[in-house]
Structure 1
């Protein structure tokens, strides 16, 4: 009995030491996830990351056309302990580690909409242009381990033309806890009928102008997706960030004449300078 107690005490001490090391290694980032940028290096106050990325992606949702596009990368951030407020691209956001297991993120941004010129092959002719609009994005992640090795993720996108939800699981690879390494998320995406028809619906007027068959979607499951993220510190100031997305559409979405492909895909790489 005495030996069992000693072994238990030793185990508890070791676990406590491991958690302490993790906390020390992780003190320079809010959470050790490659998909969550943190340029503050653990310090309160302002932080800046500026860079450029190149993406190879579908021309629009459901497109069978792909192309390269240059995108700005990085963000302006202000950290106050476990809270980070940031401006990235056209989005303003707040991110907070409200406990060791919960990460919350709220963003006000823009939906870029869709223009007929997005298709070089004229696939969108007659469908009209969709204007940009505000959207609110709320995301929560719940980790199962102190080092954020496995987690659940949920996301809600609420916009002027419908709502979209995402639910899934994620895993981080590698031994680093400084925000570098790689991670993967497997998700199920759902949308309401308004959001579904914004991207894939064809009303009577659009059908007459485009020659496409009229269709009205009911909403529900939109797709199953896979998201891979990678981040590497080249040196103290330079970061390399990569992302790959794959989304396989549900049968209802695939039935839309706008969906020329059964899936949507994107691959991107960015180089960021951290000031």
Structure 2
């Protein structure tokens, strides 16, 4: 975690900073949090953004293998007042601000599942590919005041592969109101038995095929984590983003034969062009 923090802070204060005046000219975001993409620059109507990034991350949940992955970034958004409708990759959603201190969001997305091939070392051999499925996300954030310096967050993710509950508290750094700056959040993640067994359980058939002990997971605490987000305009159209994640698994998850590491981590950096 020290390496993550050191690199992220170095990027923030040394490599990519631009004048605050440029950022302020970009307009007011629906909610001034770097973790929430808003490409509308404070204007009603359509907004288009396209880019990409490179992530260094765990190969799968519980893996001790790490690798680089190139991912697309950006979204199509339509804003009307305090509401934004968006399509981003495999997610279709809406978010709206209410009374300046509440944010509500609903998203329909897609869970890709896990494949045996995700492990180059063959540690998933015999477990088969987990099922793909749709998932629905409901989120509510409550700021302590209208500048969104501190906030509370609650999310429910439910779908074909089970459900997650995510609860967090966060702090925004910087004075910009355009969604740039940095943000740090502490989160706790809970899963039901369906989701726990989807990711970390081993059935009798999988045990026979893989040689791993049969494991039945129950619902409960999944992990505690730290999430970091950084956004900065490089000029009028180009936006830099940096994201970091560290999650420490609970003892029940760590005891699963699938879990080779008792944590999950990723670090990503990329750019987005706003049309």
Question: Fold conserved (TM > 0.5)?
Answer: yes
Tell me the residue number matched to 2:122. 122
Cα distance in 1 for residues equivalent to 2:57 and 2:99: 36
Separation of aligned partners in 2, 1:131 and 1:206 = 14
Gaps of 5+ in 2: 1-23
Q: Which residue of 1 aligns with 2:98?
A: 98
Aligned length: 252
Structure 1's consecutive aligned runs of 4 or more residues displaced over 6 angstroms after TM superposition are none
2:19 is matched with which residue? none
Q: Which has the larger radius of gyration?
A: 1
Structure 1 residue 99, shift from structure 2 partner: 2.1
Question: Residue in 2 aligned with 1:164?
Answer: 164
Q: Secondary structure at the match of 2:195?
A: helix
1:41 & 1:251 partners in 2: Cα distance?
44
Q: Kindly tell me: are residues 27 and 103 of structure 1, through their superposed partners in 2, closer, same or farther at Cα, counting changes over 3 Å? A: farther
Q: Quote the Cα distance in structure 1 between the aligned partners of 2:26 and 2:102.
A: 15
Contact 2:28 2:177 in 1 (8 A): no
Go from structure 1 to structure 2 and tell me whether the alpha carbon gap of 1:179 and 1:237 turns closer, same or farther (over 3 Å shift): same
In the superposition, the TM-score normalised over structure 2's length comes to: 0.90
Q: Secondary structure at the match of 2:205?
A: helix
Alignment of 1:112-191 (within 5 A): 112-191=112-191
State whether residues 135 and 159 of structure 1, in contact with CA within 8 Å, keep that contact through their aligned partners in structure 2: yes
Separation in 2, partners of 1:49, 1:246: 27
TM-score calculated relative to the size of structure 1: 0.90
Q: Can you list the C-alpha shifts for 1:56-102, whole angstroms capped at 9, x where unaligned?
A: 11000100001100000110000111110001011101011022110
- What does residue range 195-214 of structure 1 map to in structure 2 within 5 Å? 195-214=195-214
Show the counterpart of 2:61.
61
1:74 corresponds to: 74
